[in-house]
Structure 1
Amino acid sequence: MRKIWVKADPWNKDIITTALEGGADGVLIPKGYSEKVKELGKIQTISEDGDLKTGKDVIFYTIKSGEDEDEIVKLSLNKKVILECTDWTVIPLENLIAKGADVIAQVQNYQQASTVCGILEKGVKHILIDSSDMAELKKTLSLLNSETDKVSLEHAEIDEVIPAGMGDRVCVDTCTSMIPGQGMLVGNSSSALFLVHAETVENPYVSPRPFRVNAGAVHAYTRVPGGKTKYLSELCAGDQIYIADYKGNITAGIIGRIKIEKRPLLIIKALAAGKKITTILQNAETIRLTSPDGKPMSVVNLKKGDKVLVAIEESGRHFGYKIEETILEQ
Structure 2
Amino acid sequence: MVHEARIEKEFLEVMKIEEVGEGMRVCLDFIDILQPQDGVYVGNTGYGYVKVLSENRESENYPPRPFRINCGSFHQYLYQENKTHYLHELNPGEKINVEGEQEERELSLGRVKIEKRPFVRVECQSEEGTVSVTLQKTTSVHVLEENKGEISMEDLEIGHRILCLKDKPGRHLGEQVDEVIVEK
Shift of 1:187: 0.4
1:301 match: secondary structure:
coil
Question: For the residues of structure 1 that align with 2:100 and 2:147, how far apart are their CA atoms?
Answer: 10
Alignment of 1:230-269 (within 5 A): 230-245=85-100, 249-269=103-123
TM-score for the superposition, normalised by structure 2: 0.88
Runs of 4+ displaced beyond 6 Å:
none
Question: For the residues of structure 2 that align with 1:290 and 1:204, how far apart are their CA atoms?
Answer: 18
Distance verdict in 2 for CA 1:169–1:289, change over 3 Å? same
Of 278, 283, 294, the residue aligned with 2:132 is 278
Structure with larger Rg: 1
Question: For the residues of structure 1 that align with 2:109 and 2:78, how far apart are their CA atoms?
Answer: 13
Unaligned runs of 5+ in 2: 1-6
Contact 2:12 2:162 in 1 (8 A): yes
Alignment of 1:210-225 (within 5 A): 210-225=66-81
Instruction: Find the counterpart in structure 1 of residue 11 from structure 2.
Output: 155
Contact 2:61 2:139 in 1 (8 A): no
Whose strand fraction is larger, Structure 1's or Structure 2's? 2
1:298 aligned to 2:159?
A: no
Higher RCO by CA contacts (8 Å cutoff, separation 6 or greater): 2
Distance verdict in 2 for CA 1:269–1:246, change over 3 Å? farther
Q: CA RMSD in A?
A: 1.9
What is the CA deviation profile of residues 163-201 of structure 1, one whole-angstrom value per residue up to 9, with x for unaligned ones?
111101101101231213221110001331100011022
Question: For the residues of structure 1 that align with 2:90 and 2:31, how far apart are their CA atoms?
Answer: 14
Unaligned runs of 5+ in 1: 1-150
Alignment of 1:106-145 (within 5 A): none
Question: For the residues of structure 1 that align with 2:149 and 2:19, how far apart are their CA atoms?
Answer: 23
1:300 match: secondary structure:
coil
1:183 aligned to 2:8?
A: no
Question: For the residues of structure 2 that align with 1:325 and 1:181, how far apart are their CA atoms?
Answer: 35
TM-score for the superposition, normalised by structure 1: 0.51
